């Protein structure tokens, strides 16, 4: 697909752009002529991504940004609009995870996960959507997860937040069409990013836990390509790789069949927890 024809001269705002899939997406957008605002709480990482884009001849702006801070998000978007006279793509990609059993999760850990994964998306969507309604065009892309389509036990705050993103995005699609705005929902399966290295794990040895998880099924750059392809085609649901497609359809058809797998994941986590306690 010839992306440059679609993205050249456009303006994109990407959260979580300092590393992984977010960085790859920013670079791909920049290499195809898009002016890219790279936002991340990791300000130095955002600068690195922006530098890669500019060194390749593109245009980028780096921003240290906490997506859970609505006022900071508002200032950042206003800066981009003033700098580049509008916004064409707003991509809510930032996210965090926590692995723990429900009884071991503090309310502070719940709030942190919901604030970043759900409120961060709400903040970005609300701000970008208002601007796009005024413009009469635009495209919002919300990155959820396979865990937003099928439950992920011992990762309940993450699952809850991603289900929220799925519901928000799916419902908004019906309203947005009347304003000429496209809304895409991205639900990746396992992508080889730093998600697992940054994952908070409670009462279990994190190295043993993360070492047993699939972490490199899809390369971040290939994931970014699939997202770009979906955005270019204005797809409502961008779902990849094949294991995510299988889980999506299988869980919709027969959710009860997933119970043994869910129980296995819980038991495996509890075994690691028991081993740590001993």
Please check whether residue 13 is in contact with residue 39, taking contact to mean a CB–CB distance below 8 angstroms.
yes
70 is catalytic: no
Phi-psi category of 180—alpha, beta or left, where left has phi over 0 and alpha has psi -120 to 50?
left
Cα–Cα distance for residue pair 219/215, rounded to 1 Å: 10
* CA–CA separation, 57 and 31 (whole Å): 8
Among 90, 39, 32, residue whose Cα is nearest residue 66? 39
Interatomic CA distance for residues 77 and 75, integer angstroms: 6
Place of tokens 């390509």: 225
- The radius of gyration computed from the CA coordinates of the chain, to the nearest angstrom, equals 19
Write the burial class of residue 277 (CB in 10 Å: 0-12 exposed, 13-18 middle, 19+ buried).
Answer: exposed
Distance, in Å, from the CA atom of 157 to the CA atom of 164, rounded to the nearest integer, reads 11
Catalytic one of 90, 129, 158, 196: 158
Could you give the residue numbers annotated as active site? 158
């Amino acid at each position: 697909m010839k992306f440059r024809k679609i993205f050249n001269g456009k303006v994109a705002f990407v959260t979580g752009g300092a590393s992984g899939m977010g960085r790859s997406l920013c670079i791909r957008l920049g290499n195809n002529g898009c002016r890219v605002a790279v936002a991340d709480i990791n300000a130095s990482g955002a600068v690195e991504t922006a530098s890669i884009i500019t060194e390749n001849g593109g245009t980028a702006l780096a921003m240290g940004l906490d997506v859970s801070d609505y006022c900071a998000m508002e200032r950042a978007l206003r800066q981009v609009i003033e700098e580049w006279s509008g916004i064409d793509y707003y991509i809510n990609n930032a996210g965090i995870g926590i692995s723990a059993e429900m009884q071991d999760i503090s309310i502070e850990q719940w709030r942190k996960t919901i604030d970043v994964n759900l409120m961060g998306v709400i903040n970005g969507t609300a701000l970008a959507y208002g601007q796009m309604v005024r413009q009469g065009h635009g495209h919002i892309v919300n990155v959820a997860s396979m865990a937003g389509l099928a439950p992920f036990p011992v990762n309940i705050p993450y699952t809850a937040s991603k289900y929220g993103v799925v519901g928000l995005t799916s419902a908004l699609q019906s309203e947005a069409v009347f304003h000429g705005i496209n809304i895409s929902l991205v639900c990746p399966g396992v992508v080889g990013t730093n998600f697992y290295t940054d994952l908070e794990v409670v009462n279990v040895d994190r190295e043993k836990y993360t070492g047993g998880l699939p972490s490199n099924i899809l390369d971040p750059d290939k994931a970014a390509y699939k997202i770009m392809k979906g955005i270019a085609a204005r797809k409502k649901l961008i779902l990849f790789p094949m294991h995510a497609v299988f889980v999506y359809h299988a869980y919709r058809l027969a959710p009860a069949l997933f119970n043994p797998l869910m129980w296995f994941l819980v038991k495996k986590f509890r075994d690691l927890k028991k081993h740590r306690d001993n």
